[in-house]
Structure 1
Amino acid sequence: MQNKDLPVSGTCDEGDQRSHWERETLEKLAFAALQEQKMQRRWGIFFKFAFAAIILLGIYRFGGLFQSESDNNAPHTALVDIEGEIDAEGRGSAHDVIPALDRAFAEGGSVAVILRINSPGGSPVQAGMINDEIVRLREQYPEKKLYVVVDEICASGGYYIAAAADKIFVNKASVVGSIGVLMDGFGFTGLMNKFGVERRLMTAGENKGFMDPYSPVTEKQKTYSQAMLNEIHQQFIDVVRKGRGSRLKESPETFSGLFWVGSKAVEMGLADGFGTVDSVARDVIKVEDIVDYTQKEDLPERVLKKFGASVGSAAMSTLSKSSKLTLH
């Protein structure tokens, strides 16, 4: 009888184990479903708050714009900042600076415009575009003066822009000048030969691989590069001579690429005097109320730049900057 009972007992144990396993599985599935629902609720709440924050930010921003437009009808000194390198993407780009200058000149309450520059230079194209726009605006609004106030540095491309101003004010220790052009890059041909690395570059057009860092530069290409640099340098010189006029005291060093402290720049006629934004507004323009027209990035723009296009363009940016033409 005992032997007959054994299979029955074994069957019950197996059934209990199977039931226990099924119960545990159901509990795990139920727990996972609850966790998933919690996560969905949390993300839903997050996105609702984020959407509400963007809406509120937009309302605040547009409300601020409308408020500033009404305030700007009163007489004031308009301010536009150029900070950092002058390139196509930064705060010193023509894309950002020109609209700010346009608004500053067009605003009925602006008595004059101060362009504050703190830049070591950069793209001759961007600097040239901003210079041209300043010339155009001064012709369109002859009653409004544009004064440049130099912060720490106004060199090369920065000075290319400053030369278009009615007057330039500096600090005694500001760095000013560097009227020259350079094209920089690297060459690795010697290192490649040392390690037996072969560069396999195929082009259509004998100069298509010009300035490739892994290929040697011919004398013909050097001559061509120097001619191009000389041409851009002459454009820079012409802009400075036109902008400064008889105030400029030329010497052999003036257009050599050297730079000077602010006190020396005033002696050389590269600047007109000493001043800050506040002192120029108070003593020269005689309107102490200052309104900043500098174009600022809003939150959506910063997010897009940080998490969007910048990631995709990183590799191409690295390649394109192997050789760069700058006013530094």
Structure 2
Amino acid sequence: MYPDTPDATDSGASASPASSVNPSPAAPARSASEALIEQFAQDYLKDRRSTRRWNLVIRLGWLAAFAVLVWGFVSQGSPASAPSGPHTALVELRGEIAADTEASAEVMLSGLKSAFEDVGARAVVIRINSPGGSPVQAGIIHDELQRLKKLHGKQLYVVVEESCASGAYYVAAAADAIYVDKASIVGSIGVLMDGFGFTGLMDKLGVERRLITAGENKGMLDPFSPASERQRALAQAMIDQIHQQFIDVVRQGRGDKLKETEDTFSGLFWNGEEAVKIGLADGLGNLDYVAREIVKAENIIDYTPHENVAERLAKRFGASVGAGAVRAMKLDALRLN
């Protein structure tokens, strides 16, 4: 009697399939290779960030080093204290007198010229603490001191601390007066040439020396070859001549004050008290005493050239570059071989 209509049950049953939704498929699990690649990428990015930071630090370091170099060169060239009025000019001679030291002729004369040229300097004092060194370097300093004294008309004094021996006394002989401490070591007016001979040891070890020379005396004083009497005589004549040059300089510098004995030029040395007695020194006194009582100018200005920070860094940098170049050349040689 009623039209056919779906009942509630049928309606619910028929709606059920339409309303149900299939669940989405689960994401596939990452493979081990994908995880490894992701970890590698993260580590790579971290390493790159670290590298950038270190590059920045290195650049800042180089910038700081460059700033120090510039500051060092700009601040170089003037005495430790600015001259102001009459004063005693001081130049220090310390350590071995040799070409590559702070007591070289080049370094010493730089300070001495400035000291003599300054119109405020009443006199120049060299304070010495040196065992000597190269007769060539000492001779250059001595001769230039004589020229500067004559050119500027100023007195030159030497004050000795611990020692003024050999080449250092060669320099001191140019002074108008030498002052020492009673315990200073003074003298050693002589010349030496030393070395070693290994011929006996080589015979015991069965080592043969193969030395090929062009010129009869080219291998003279070679420590691995026997020395002939003629070569010994030639070497002795050479140092005797240099010794005589030393003697002449001392006699000229000290004049009548020198009380010569057979030991004066034998290479012996004396303490300061004895040095005054035999005329190698003029009296006892330190730098302050000479400035105050002799020069009459208590204000002391130091003209000694000092190696600054920039020069030390430049030398170290140059040495590093040189060592690197040597290593590179050795590696190239190995590759070529």
TM range, smaller chain:
0.7 to 0.9
CA distance in 1, matches of 2:195, 2:163: 24
CA distance in 1, matches of 2:79, 2:252: 39
List per-residue Cα deviations over 1:220-279 (Å, max 9, x = no partner): 100000000100000000000000001100000000000001111101000000110000
Max Rg structure: 2
CA distance in 2, matches of 1:311, 1:216: 40
List per-residue Cα deviations over 1:130-186 (Å, max 9, x = no partner): 0001111111122x1000000000000000000010000001010000000000111
1:209 Cα deviation after fit: 1.2
Are positions 1:260 and 2:270 aligned together?
A: yes
Equivalent positions of 1:176-187 (< 5 A) are 176-187=186-197
Query: 1:238 — aligned with what?
Result: 248
CA distance in 2, matches of 1:166, 1:124: 21
Give SS of 1:172's match: coil
Are positions 1:28 and 2:43 aligned together?
A: yes
Q: Count how many residue pairs are aligned between Structure 1 and Structure 2.
A: 296
List per-residue Cα deviations over 1:174-212 (Å, max 9, x = no partner): 000000000011111111111001111111112111122
Q: 1:106 to 1:229 in 2, by over 3 A?
A: same
Tell whether the 8 Å contact from 1:172 to 1:261 is kept in structure 2 after alignment. Answer: yes
Q: TM-score, normalised by structure 2?
A: 0.84
Query: 1:102 — aligned with what?
Result: 113
Query: 2:161 — aligned with what?
Result: 151
Tell whether the 8 Å contact from 1:149 to 1:169 is kept in structure 2 after alignment. Answer: yes
1:48 Cα deviation after fit: 2.5
CA distance in 1, matches of 2:277, 2:303: 32
CA distance in 2, matches of 1:66, 1:148: 19
Q: 1:116 to 1:175 in 2, by over 3 A?
A: same
CA distance in 1, matches of 2:79, 2:192: 45
1:58 Cα deviation after fit: 4.5
Tell whether the 8 Å contact from 1:73 to 1:107 is kept in structure 2 after alignment. Answer: no
Are positions 1:16 and 2:31 aligned together?
A: yes
Q: Which runs of 5+ in 2 are unaligned?
A: 1-27, 324-337
Query: 1:81 — aligned with what?
Result: 92
Query: 1:301 — aligned with what?
Result: 311
CA distance in 1, matches of 2:256, 2:217: 43
List per-residue Cα deviations over 1:24-81 (Å, max 9, x = no partner): 221121122111111111112222333334444445x16x83995xx42511000000
Query: 2:126 — aligned with what?
Result: 115
Between the aligned residues of both structures, percent identity stands at: 53
Tell whether the 8 Å contact from 2:70 to 2:310 is kept in structure 1 after alignment. Answer: no
1:39 paired residue among 32, 54, 70: 54
Query: 1:216 — aligned with what?
Result: 226
Give SS of 2:123's match: strand
Amino acid at match of 2:87: H
Query: 2:239 — aligned with what?
Result: 229
CA distance in 2, matches of 1:89, 1:167: 28
CA distance in 1, matches of 2:216, 2:80: 60
Q: Which runs of 5+ in 1 are unaligned?
A: 1-11, 314-328
Amino acid at match of 1:65: S
